[in-house]
């Protein structure tokens, strides 16, 4: 009778995917500090889904491919803990770090580093009028500058009159058919205004493109009108 009961119970847990042996022995956690024991969901031999892992430290939350990924709470051996977003084993997104001395760091994290109370976009549009589309591209140049290109129908400065580019810092220069701002301080506010003939030169329209670039670097801004 005892043998029959043991076989039934073992089979039930195995079918339900709840076998303690399969979770702790065959389901790996790829972060050394919490790789001692694991209990939770598993996929292809790795912690995947909701689970609890412990070692020197302890983590409870979501996993993907053996690493904390999603939302979870990580507690260090010294009592510090972080509750928030994770990506590939690193703190990412919104989170709250509470230290053993009761001090708190709360805000946005990126690749395990705290970046501030809120994530600041590389650029933002303040006003756009008679602009059909636009693009911002950060180049590999080590210089700090912003190049502004005006394009219609694949042609730069087509039908443009009364061009004014106002900016909060830096010096303006002309290179070929486009205008640039060199050595600015960021964040940099730029307001581009001009009038442009339509394709048939029968009427003019006022064009305004007002934007802010927050991130230092070499930028190319293309305005289609």
Fold of 20-116: 2.20.110
- What was the pLDDT predicted at 22? 34
- What was the pLDDT predicted at 176? 86
**Which residues of the chain have a pLDDT value below 50?**
1-24
This prediction's pTM: 0.53
- What was the pLDDT predicted at 199? 79
Q: d(Cα 96, Cα 90) in Å, to the nearest integer?
A: 14
- What was the pLDDT predicted at 187? 92
> Would you say the C-alpha torsion 31, 37, 41, 44 has a positive or negative sign?
positive
Residues of the chain with CATH 2.60.40: 123-224
- What was the pLDDT predicted at 25? 52
Write the pLDDT tens digit of every residue in 176-223.
Answer: 888 999 999 999 999 999 999 887 888 899 999 999 999 999 999 999
- What was the pLDDT predicted at 175? 87
CATH 2.60.120 fits domain 123-224:
no
**167-170, Cβ contacts within 8 angstroms, sequence gap of 24 or more:** 167/191, 170/145, 170/146
Residues of the chain with CATH 2.20.110: 20-116
DSSP string covering the chain:
-HHHHHHHHHHHHHHHT--HHHHHHHSB-S-GGG-SEEEEEEETTEEEEEEEEESSSEEEEEEETTEEEEEEEEE-TTS-EEEEEEETTEEEEEEEEE-TTS-EEEEEEETTEEEESSPPPSEEEEEEES--EEEEEE-S-SS-EEEEEEEETTEETTTEEEEEEEESSSEEEEETTEEEEES--SSEEEEEEEEEE-TTSS-EEEEEEEEEE-S-SEEEEEEE-
């Amino acid at each position: 009778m005892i043998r029959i009961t043991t076989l039934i119970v073992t089979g039930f847990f195995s079918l339900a995917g709840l076998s303690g042996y399969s979770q702790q022995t065959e389901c790996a956690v790829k972060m050394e500090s919490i790789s001692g024991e694991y209990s939770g969901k598993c996929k292809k031999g790795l912690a995947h889904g909701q689970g609890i892992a412990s070692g020197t430290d302890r983590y409870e939350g979501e996993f993907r491919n053996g690493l904390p990924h999603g939302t979870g709470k990580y507690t260090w051996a010294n009592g510090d803990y972080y509750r928030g977003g994770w990506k590939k084993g690193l703190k990412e997104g919104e989170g709250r770090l509470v230290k053993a001395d009761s001090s708190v760091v709360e805000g946005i994290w990126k690749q395990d580093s705290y970046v501030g109370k809120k994530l600041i976009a590389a650029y933002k549009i303040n006003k756009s009028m008679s602009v059909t589309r636009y693009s911002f591209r950060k180049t590999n140049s080590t210089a700090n500058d912003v190049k502004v290109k005006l394009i219609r129908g694949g042609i730069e400065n087509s039908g443009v009159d009364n061009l004014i580019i106002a900016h909060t810092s830096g010096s303006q220069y002309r290179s070929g058919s486009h205008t640039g701002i060199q050595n600015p301080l960021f964040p940099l506010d730029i307001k581009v205004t001009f009038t442009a003939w339509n394709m048939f030169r029968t009427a003019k329209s006022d064009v305004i493109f007002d934007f802010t670039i927050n991130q230092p670097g070499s930028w190319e801004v293309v305005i289609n009108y």
